[in-house]
Structure 1
Amino acid sequence: MSPAPSRVVIDCDPGIDDAIALLLAYASPELDVAGITTVAGNVGLDQVVDNALRLCDLIGGAAASTPVLRGHAGPLARGRRQPDEPVHGAYGLGGVELPQATRAANPGHAVDWTAGEVRARPGEITLIATAPLINVAGLLHTHPGAGAALREIVVMGGAAFAPGNVTPAAEFNFYADPEAARYVTESGVPLRIVGLDVTRAALTPLADAETLIADGGPATSAAGRMLRHLIERYEWRHGVRACAVHDALAVAAAIEPGLLEWTEAWVTVECAGEFTRGALVADVHGRSGHAPNALVATGVDADAFRAFMLSRLLAAYGTSAPPLTR
């Protein structure tokens, strides 16, 4: 008998890699997606919410009625959010225009909704955060006890031992609101961090995007075209015909933690450095004197992740796949 699926809330800012992450989550019977909360990040909040709703309709099944909540439109501490991440192109989805959403976002705020969900199911909810940590910090700060009721937070963010992708030191999600990221990392909630150390080591090649496009299903075709846009950006910037699908790896980590290698560390986020604002600090040798507060992903089976993601997407959404009912 298979174990009951893990109940998750996905806090995201779609975004191409968030879109693939949502597709992967709904393609995976190990997860029960309770809700999707949104925050400004790759694009502004209105576009993020619209993208999430359109993606839910594209996925179908249970996704078509999953609660989608509006969250914060900018940083908690510094007042003005970073400009849209240009990597993601038109609509934030690489120019892939999905059909108009058939519903609006749920009423209420993402933070308050998540607090209610977590308190109703203490110890059951894993929060997968693939965006700037503004909503997550807001949850932990404004709803005392919510953190203790969470099972775990899986974060896509930071670069513990690798260069950043916004500055030499900082990754986009942490740089967008370093104070929020610091609050979350030091919150005491069980934490897994999936950062650029591993996402850059698990690239998806153009061949996989072309396989999805060739399948011809609405969702596989859209996913392949989004990935192809991202690969074109990577080729222009890095000279490789492949791309990191950062947020999908975080979802995979919540499903199959054994795809990655994990290192205990005390972590925090630099908020004051002239050149290091937003940098993830990971102490793996106890130099700080603090006990470990996170598991940091430091290795990944790239081939296994690639096969995992591609096979799940084709099995769930391919032209020969049965209708998605979960």
Structure 2
Amino acid sequence: MIDCDPGIDDAIALFLAYASPELEVAGVTTVAGNVGLDQVVDNALRLCDLIGGPAAATPVLRGHAGPLARVPRHPDEPVHGAYGLGGVELPAAARAAHPGHAVDWIAEQLRGAGPGEITLIATAPLTNVAALLHTHPDTRRLLREIVVMGGAAFAPGNTTPAAEFNFHADPEAARYVTESGVPLHIVGLDVTRKALTPLADADALVADGAPVTTAAGQMLRHLIDRYARRHQVRACAVHDALAVAAAVRPELLEWTEAWVTVECAGEFTRGALVADVHGRTGLAPNARVATGVDAEAFRAFLMSRLRGHYGADTTPAP
């Protein structure tokens, strides 16, 4: 299951998930984050329709419209464009969201599947995930693991000097999830910033000309333009896609075991991921944190999956 807030990198993550035969996407749940909840839901539906095939029938569900304990706050700048997809206009969705709430639906699916059969990939603020684990505590033993895109354990944040966007948006939720006891793999800015997608790859996707590759390339161009203005580099991080890759090919990353939590009260550190890798707290590790990545292997993996599955000249992807 993918809990997301599309968002450009969420869109690329969805494209990658459906292009990966190792995964069977059981559902797409949504939460406010990169844009408000209504827009997030609409974006997810449009993206699944664009992907087609099984994606067009995958349940898409509405989740929480804001954080657990704080006033909702949308990003100060339109990182993902006014509607969240970099100005790329997709056809209107052919269906409505699945009835019911995302949190309750996930719980039902976990109980029906049995222990250890479902991985939850969370690429958004962790509001839905924390609510799931709190209101349906039996699901903790049913989840195989949660792969989280969030945090910056050993690197600067991208929302504040200390905090990454997803954890800063709902730090209480992030703390609840990290201390929940569910097996966690955390893919944060420590690695996503090392695995940049260059303009040449975005241009190649647009040049391919197929609907999904063209949309993906255009969205990536939007992010790359922003990176060029802010960071003077013609490339961008595709944070959420790396989290999907971690679920499919964990060997692309280096992992460090640590006890982790999230700061909720710090004046300058709210939302910061705290990782104890040296045992200073005396607490046993509760997560595996990604600390390194084979950037070129990830780049090749992402491009081969997108072009191999969706490209105009489609061939089976490795």
TM-score bin (small chain): over 0.9
Structure 2 partner of 1:138:
131
TM-score (norm: length of structure 2): 0.98
CA distance in 2, matches of 1:53, 1:194: 25
Structure 1 runs not aligned, ≥5 long = 1-8
Kept in 2, the 8 Å contact 1:203–1:302? The answer is yes
Per the alignment, residue 6 of structure 1 pairs with none
After TM superposition, the score normalised by the length of structure 1 is 0.95
Aligned residues: 316
Change (3 A) 1:47 1:85: farther
Runs of 4 or more consecutive aligned structure 1 residues displaced over 4 Å after TM superposition: none
Q: Distance in 2 between matches of 1:79 and 1:150?
A: 30
Deviations 1:136-180 (A, max 9, x none): 000000002111110000000000000000000000000000000
Task: Out of 139-148 and 239-248, give the one that drifted further.
Answer: 139-148
Picking from 45, 50, 62, the partner of 1:58 is 50
Shift of 1:90: 2.5
Aligned to 2:281: 288
Note if 1:32 corresponds to 2:24: yes
1:234 aligns with 2:263: no
* Residue in structure 1 matched with residue 164 of structure 2 by the alignment: 171
Residues 140, 281 of structure 1: alpha-carbon distance in 2 compared, 3 angstrom cutoff: same
Instruction: State whether structure 2 residue 157 is matched by structure 1 residue 153.
Output: no
Q: Give CA-to-partner distance per residue, 1:88-120, whole Å, 9 cap, x none.
A: 013100000100100000000000000011111
Q: Is the 8 A contact 2:34 2:74 kept in 1?
A: no
What residue is the counterpart of 1:270 in the other structure?
Answer: 263
Q: Aligned with 1:31: secondary structure?
A: coil
* Structure 2: unaligned runs, 5 residues or longer: none
CA distance in 2, matches of 1:69, 1:84: 26
SS of 2:70's equivalent in the other structure is coil
Which letter maps to 1:285? H
* 1:1-326 paired onto structure 2 within 5 Å: 9-83=1-75, 86-121=78-113, 122-321=115-314
Sort the Cα spacing of 1:74 and 1:84 in 2 relative to 1 into closer, same or farther, 3 A.
farther
Deviates more, 1:70-79 or 1:252-261: 70-79
Q: Distance in 2 between matches of 1:144 and 1:99?
A: 39
* Deviations 1:191-238, CA, capped at 9 Å, x for gaps: 000000000000000000000000000100000000000000001000
User: What amino acid sits opposite 2:192 in the alignment?
Assistant: T
Residue by residue, what CA displacement relative to the aligned partner does 1:47-104 show, whole Å, maximum 9, x if unpaired? Answer: 0000000000100000000000000000011132334662101310000010010000
Measure, in 2, the Cα distance between the counterparts of 1:203 and 1:322: 25
Contact 1:37–1:70 (Cα < 8 Å) also in 2? yes
Determine what percentage of the aligned residue pairs are the same residue: 82
Q: Secondary structure at the match of 2:309?
A: helix
Sort the Cα spacing of 1:85 and 1:11 in 2 relative to 1 into closer, same or farther, 3 A: farther
The CA RMSD over aligned residues, in Å, is: 1.3
